[in-house]
Structure 1
Amino acid sequence: MKTTISNVDKQVEQSVTIGAWLHNKRSSGKIQFLQLRDGTGFIQGVMVKKEVTEEAWEAAKNLTQESSVWVTGIVREDDRSQSGYELTVTNVELIHEAVDYPITPKEHGTEFLMDNRHLWIRSRRQNAILRIRNEIIRATYQFFNENDFVKIDPPILTGSSAEGTTDLFHTKYFEEDAYLSQSGQLYMEAAAMAFGRVFSFGPTFRAEKSKTRRHLIEFWMIEPEMAFMNHDESLEVQEQYVSFLVQSVLDNCQLELKTLDRDLSKLEAIKAPFPRISYDDAITLLKDKGFTDIEWGEDFGAPHETAIAESFEKPVFITNYPKDIKAFYMKPDPEREDVVLCADLIAPEGYGEIIGGSQRIDDLALLEQRYEEHGLTDDAYKWYLELRRYGSVPHSGFGLGLERTVAWLSGVEHVRETIPFPRLLNRLYP
C-alpha cells in the first residue's frame, strides 16, 4: 500500500511503501537506521540484516544523503519516536542517487546555508518553521472567512506610494513610472466601501537599507479593512485574530513546536484581551527604564519596543502616536489634535511590532488638508479622495506582518528563516 509519512498512523502493523529521501543514516553493524523524509514528515526506518534480502541490505547500505528511494516496511508504534511511529524496513529501491550533497550534518555558516536555501529548506528545523507559516496562513483564511470578510487582491504595481514615503522600488510601466507596492491598504479602503469587511494577503516591498533581524525587502502582509468600525472596535478584532492564530498553531503544530524547542507556556498565555499603553505613557516607561534620550515626538526603535514589551506577558498595544510621525491617512484623536487614533501591536520576547493599524480619516476637507501637509498630488490620489466624496463612513484597518509573526510563534531569532526564499539587502539568490 502506497502512503505518506503523515498518514502512517492509519496503517499501523500494515506493510506500506513510501517515496522518500534519505535525510540521514547510521548503522550498528547488523542494523541500519534510516532517517527518512517525504515532505509530509520525518520517520525512522529500521532495517535488520537477517530479516531482509542481501540486495535490500546493500541498497540501504550504499544510500547517500538526500538520495530518493521507494521504501517498503511495516508501520510500528514507537513512543520513543518524535512522531510516535517507526518503520520496520523490508525493502529499499533506489530512485536517484544524490552525490556530494553540500549540506552535511556538520555545522555550517549562515551565509553558506542562505546560498543553499533551496536545499536548506529540506532540514527538520526549516521544515518546522515553514509548516508553522503555512498554519498561520490557513488559520488567517479561516478567521476572516468565519467573520464575514471578503478577500480582495490589491495590485502589486502601483502609480504612487501608499504612505508617502520614498522607500519604493521604481520600475517603468510602459511610458509611465510605477512602483512595487509597499502596502495594499489604500485599495483595501476602496474595497471596504464596496464589501464592508475585506482582507488582502500578498507580497509587499520596502526599499529600506536595513540589515536588522526583523527586516526583509520582500515580505507578506495580511491587511483587513472594515467599514463602519472605529479604532477601539478594530483593536478588538486584532487581538481576537492574533489569539486565534496562536491557538491554531498550538493545536495543529505541536510536532513542529517541539522540533524548535519552543516554550509552549509563553504561547499558551496569549489570549485576548491584550494590554494597552498610550504613547505618552510608553515614553514615561522608557525613561523610567533608563532610556533618557527618548523624547516625545520620536518614533520607537527595536530596543524601545523590546523594553516596553518586557513589562507585559502578552502582546501590548501602543496607542495614540504623535500625528507627525504617522501616515497622512490616520484620523486625529477628536479630543487631542496632536495624536492620531492608531496602535502598534508589539509582540513579547523581543519580536517587535507585528501589527500597525488605525482609524482612517473619513472627512474630505481634513484629508485634503493632510494632502497639502505631506506634499501629495491630486493626480496620484484623486481616486482615494473620492472615497470620502461618495458615501464616506468611519472605517478602520490594520496590517499584520506574516514573517515577524512566524518568527515570534516559532521562536526563531531572524525573519530570514520564516520565508522560503528571503530577499535581503544584499541577497537576491537563490
Structure 2
Amino acid sequence: MKTTIAEVGKYVGQVVTIGAWLSNKRSSGKIAFLQLRDGTGFMQGVVVISEVDEKVFEAAKSITQESSIYVTGEIRVDERSPFGYELGVQNIEVIQEAVDYPITPKEHGVEFLMDHRHLWIRSKKQHSIMKIRNEVIRATYEFFNENGFVKVDPPILTGSAPEGTTELFQTKYFDEDAFLSQSGQLYMEAAAMALGKVFSFGPTFRAEKSKTRRHLIEFWMIEPEMAFYEFEDSLKVQEEYVSFIVQSVLKNCKLELGVLERDVTKLEKITAPFPRISYDEAIEFLKNKGFTDIEWGDDFGAPHETAIAESYEKPVFITHYPTSLKPFYMQPHPTREDVVLCADMIAPEGYGEIIGGSERVHDHDLLKQRLEEHGLLDGAYKWYLQLRQYGSVPHSGFGLGLERTVAWISGADHVRETIPFPRLLNRLYP
C-alpha cells in the first residue's frame, strides 16, 4: 500500500510504502535512524539490523543525503516525536543516489544558501515556512469566498502606474511602452463597480532599490476592493481578515510552527478588533520616544513603525496620513484638507507594514483635479476617470503583502525566506 507521510496516521500497525528523500541519518552498529521527507512532511524511519536482511541494513548505512528511495515498513505510534509516528523499516529501494549534495547539516552562509535556493527549500525550516505560506493563501480564499467576494485577475502588463511613481519596470509592448504592474488596484476598482466586492491575488513588481529585510522586487499581493464600503467598513474587513488567517495557521500548521520554534502565545492574541492610532498621535508618540528629528509631514521608516508596534500585542492601524504622503486616489478627510481617509496596518514584533488601504476618491471633479496635480491627466487614466462618470459610489480597498505577512506569522528573519524563489536587488538566480 503506497501512501504519504501526511497520511500515515490512517495506517498504524499496517505495512506501507512511501516514496521519499533522505534528508539526514544517523546510525550505530545495530540500528539506523533515517530522516525521511516526501514533500508532505518529515518522519523517522528506524532500521534494526536483527529485523531486516543484511542488504537492507547495508543500504540504510550507505545511502547518501537527498537520495530518492522507496521505503517500506510498519507505521508505529511514536509519542516522543512531535510528528507522532515512525516507520519500522523492512525494505529500501534506491531510486537515484545523490552524490555530493551541496547543503550539508553544517552551517552555511546566506549567499551560499540563496545560490542554492532550489535545494534549500527542501530543508525542514524552509518547508515549514512554505506550508504556512500555503495555509495563508488557502485561508485567504476561504475568507473572501465565504464573505461574498469574487476573485478577479487584473493585468500584469499595464500602460500606467497605479501610484504615479517611477519605481516601475518598463518594457516594450510591441510599439508602445508598458510596465510590470506594481498594483492591481485601479483595475480592481473597475471590477468592484461591476461585481460589488472583489479581490485579486497575484504578483506585483517594484523597482525600488532597497536591501532591507522587508523588501522584495517581486512579491505577491491580496487586493480587495468593495463598492459602497466607506473607510470604517474597510478597516473592519481588514482586521477580521488578518485575524482569520492567523487563527487558520494556528489551527492547521501546529507542526510547522513548532519546527520554527514560533511563540504561538503571541499569535493567539491576534483577534479583531485591532488598536488604532492617528498619524498626528503617532508623531507625538515618536517625539516622546526620542525621535526628535521627525516632524509632521514626514513619512515613517522601519524604526518608527517598530517603535509604535512595540506598544501593542496586536497589529495596529496608523490612520489619516498627510495628503502629501499618499497617492492621488485617496479620499480626503471630511473636515480636514491636510489628511486623507487611509490606514496602514503595522504588524507586531518589528515586521512593519503588512496592509495599506484607503477609501477611494469617488467624485469625478475631485479625481480629475488630483490627476492634474500629479501630472497624470493623460490618456492612460481616461478609463479610470470614467469610473466616476457612470454611477460612481463610495468605495474602499486595501492591499496585503503576502511575504511580509508570512514572515510575521512564521517568525522568519527576512522576507526572502517566505517566497519560493526571491527576487532581490542583487539576485535574479536561480
TM-score (ref. length: structure 2)? 1.00
For the pair 1:382 / 2:382, whether they are aligned, the reply is yes
Q: C-alpha distance in 2, partners of 1:79/1:289? A: 49
Q: How far off its partner does 1:129 sit? A: 0.3
For 1:52, the equivalent position in structure 2 comes to 52
Return the letter of the residue paired with 1:379: G
What corresponds to 1:8 in structure 2?
8
- 1:279 aligns to 2:268 (yes or no): no
Contact 2:368–2:377 (Cα < 8 Å) also in 1: no
Structure 1 counterpart of 2:409, one-letter code:
L
Match in the other structure for 1:297: 297
Residue of structure 2 in register with 1:370 after alignment: 370
Contact conserved, 2:25 with 2:35, CA < 8 A, in 1?
Answer: yes
Paired position in structure 1 for 2:162:
162
CA distance in 2, matches of 1:311, 1:48: 54
In the other structure, the counterpart of 1:79 is 79
Structure 2 Cα separation of the partners of residues 285 and 256 of structure 1: 37
Equivalent residue for 1:252? 252
Give 1:106's aligned residue.
106
Q: Which residue of structure 2 aligns with residue 25 of structure 1? A: 25
CA distance, structure 2, for counterparts of residue 44 and residue 334 of structure 1: 62
Q: Distance in 2 between matches of 1:78 and 1:60?
A: 20
1:157-187: CA deviation from partner (whole Å, max 9, x where unpaired): 0001010000000000000000000000000
Determine the C-alpha separation between the residues in 1 that align with 2:426 and 2:347. Answer: 27
Give the letter aligned to residue 31 of structure 2: I
Once the two structures are superposed, residues 26-66 of structure 1 have per-residue CA deviations (whole angstroms, 9 ceiling, x without a partner) of 00110000000000000000000011001111111210000
How far, CA to CA, are the matches of 1:262 and 1:57 in structure 2?
Answer: 37
- Note the C-alpha offset of 1:372: 1.0
**Partner AA of 2:116 in structure 1:** N
Query: Match for residue 324 of structure 2?
Result: 324
Q: What amino acid maps onto 1:172 in structure 2?
A: K
Mapped partners of 1:42, 1:286: distance in 2: 46
Q: Distance in 1 between matches of 2:234 and 2:371?
A: 25
Aligned counterparts of 1:377 and 1:395: Cα–Cα separation in 2: 21
Q: Distance in 2 between matches of 1:350 and 1:373?
A: 35
Find the aligned partners of 1:193 and 1:263 in 2 and give their Cα distance: 42
Distance 1:72 1:220 in 2: 40
Q: How does 1:31-50 map to 2 (within 5 A)?
A: 31-50=31-50
Q: Which residue of 2 aligns with 1:410?
A: 410
Whole-Å separation in 2 of the counterparts to 1:270 and 1:238: 12
Alpha-carbon distance in 2 for matches of 1:335, 1:316: 24
| TM-fit CA distance, 1:378 | 2.6
| Separation of aligned partners in 1, 2:105 and 2:254 | 24
Give 1:262 deviation, angstroms.
0.2
User: Which deviations, in whole Å up to 9, do the C-alpha atoms of 1:224-267 show, x marking residues without a partner?
Assistant: 00000100010000000000000000000000000000001100
Instruction: Deviation per CA, 1:295-342: give whole Å up to 9, x if none.
Output: 000110000000000111110000000000100000000110110000
- Secondary structure of 1:339's counterpart equals coil
- Contact preservation (8 Å) 2:239, 2:274: yes
Does 2:120 correspond to 1:144?
no
Where 2:407 maps in the other structure, the secondary structure is helix
The CA deviation string for residues 267-289 of structure 1, in whole angstroms up to 9 with x for no partner, is: 00000000000000000000000
Q: Which amino acid aligns with 1:258?
A: G
SS for the counterpart of 1:355 is strand
- What secondary structure sits across from 1:317 in the alignment? strand
* Pairwise CA distance, 1:377: 2.7
**What is the CA–CA distance in structure 2 between the aligned matches of 1:181 and 1:19, rounded to whole Å?**
40
The Cα offsets for residues 80-103 of structure 1, whole Å up to 9 and x where unpaired, read as 112000010001010000000000
Q: Does 1:226 align with 2:226?
A: yes
* 8 A Cα contact 2:13 2:75, kept in partner: yes
Segments of structure 2 that go 5 or more residues without pairing to the other structure are none
Asked if the contact 2:346/2:355 (under 8 Å) is kept, the reply is: yes
Q: Is the 8 A contact 2:197 2:225 kept in 1?
A: yes
- Identity rate, percent: 77
Question: Whole-Å Cα distance in 2 between the matches of residues 182 and 377 of structure 1?
Answer: 19
Unpaired runs of at least 5, structure 1 = none
Deviation larger for 282-291 or 51-60: 51-60
Cα distance in 1 for residues equivalent to 2:142 and 2:133: 14
Q: Secondary structure at the match of 2:382?
A: helix
Tell me the TM-score normalised to structure 1 length: 1.00
The 1-side partners of 2:337 and 2:226 are apart by 23
Superposition RMSD in Å: 0.4
2:2 counterpart SS class: coil
Aligned residue in 1 for 2:357: 357
